Amino acid sequence: MFYQTVTVLKPDVVTDPRYGDEKLDWTSPTRLPVDHVLVAPSIQTEPTEPNRNAVVTGWHIVSQPGQPFPVASRDRIELRGGLVCEVVGEVAEWPDALTGRIDHYECDIQRAAG
């Protein structure tokens, strides 16, 4: 079940010299392959906005129990075939009911086109 590999893309964080704001730089993100995950389709919608033909597609990712999952809400995830998606919301940590330790992680990702 946990036989897929994704690549986590982590941006560089740069400080705007003029205002001091931190900004994400996606020019050359750090690439971290993560093995043994489950990737399942979750949504596909076509928003109805005038003059726009958009499609939003989403997936749900579950890490293998006991496997580290180095993903943050600001990261992007590249699926097989090079499709890059944004993490939606926070990454959920699921504790083991008996031990209280983290069992696995889950997150949603999506890609909007059009």
Q: What structural domains and CATH numbers belong to the chain?
A: 4-113 (2.40.10)
Determine the Cα–Cα distance for residues 72 and 56; give it in Å rounded to an integer.
Answer: 21
pTM, two decimal places: 0.85
DSSP calls for 30-50:
EEEEEEEEEEEEEEEE--EET
Mean pLDDT, the chain, integer: 91
What is the per-residue pLDDT across 14-55, written as a single tens digit (0 to 9) for each? 998 888 899 999 999 999 999 999 999 997 776 666 776 778
